[in-house]
Structure 1
Amino acid sequence: MSPRPLRNFWPIWAVVVARGHVAMEHIAALLLVIGCSNSMTDCRELQVPVSIFETADECTAERPFAMGDVQGQAQHIVAKCLAVDPALEDDYDQVVWNVRPDGSLDASLAISSLVMASNAMRPEKDYLSQE
């Protein structure tokens, strides 16, 4: 599976409450919809009207409707609701997915492995004394 950058969903809890609508406190599920060629070799993410949900049940209920919304955009369409860990929702930055030749979709949310380099032997510069 190759990682793909996650669309900018985070932090969703900052949604503004307007006209009596309740703001999401966190995301419980992300709906991923993928369209492929008949040979399953050329696949891409398909955009759907709603792709984030407060509960996994809401995502599961919306899945068939979302697949209907993108009907005709690809020869083969697969979709999966991905669970979101509330403790990590600000850290997720990739959707990793793969469509197998049999048409099944493997997918997950991931956090990049960011490595920071530092040199503890190099003393910090004191810019005030270097004038």
Structure 2
Amino acid sequence: MEHIAALLLVIGCSNNMTECRELPVPVSVFETAEACTAERPFAAGDLQGQAEHVVAKCLTVDPALEDDYDQIVWNVRPDGTLDASLQISSVVVASNATRREKDSLSQQ
């Protein structure tokens, strides 16, 4: 079974960096961080025409949590720096702690 070690995130922004969006890349997951880092400049270069500013970052994936990540949180600063991370949402499961079990001896 192959594991993902890194995810390539590419963001395209307007000239004043106020409007940004994720840009699709042909390959976004990599088995090694080095492979992602090597691909990053090529992917960013290929997408240059899709936005006035293109920034890219490789995000490290913890193999133990690979299936638990469910969102990418990112922000592009006015200076063009991309802050991004993989996150795991907090999932709350509802339960009823006051539920009383049936007492089979008291039923007639």
Indicate whether the TM-score tops 0.5: yes
Residue of structure 2 equivalent to 1:40: 17
Measure, in 2, the Cα distance between the counterparts of 1:34 and 1:50: 14
Q: Which of 35, 41, 52 is the aligned partner of 1:75?
A: 52
Determine the structure 1 residue equivalent to 2:64: 87
Gaps of 5+ in 1: 1-12, 14-24, 126-131
Per-residue deviation at 1:124? 5.9
Please list every run of at least 4 consecutive aligned residues from structure 1 whose deviation after the TM superposition is greater than 3 angstroms.
Answer: none
| TM-score normalised to structure 2 length | 0.90
Deviation (angstroms), 1:73: 0.3
User: In percent, how many aligned pairs have the same letter?
Assistant: 81
Structure number, greater radius of gyration:
2
C-alpha RMSD of matched pairs (Å): 1.2
> By how many angstroms is 1:68 displaced?
1.5
Extract unaligned runs of 5+ from structure 2. Answer: 103-108
* Secondary structure in structure 2 of the residue aligned to 1:32: strand
Q: What is the count of residue pairs matched by the alignment? A: 102
Q: In structure 2, the residue corresponding to 1:34 is in which secondary structure? A: strand
CA distance in 2 between partners of 1:98 and 1:39 (Å): 14
Q: What TM-score, normalized by structure 1, do the two folds share?
A: 0.75
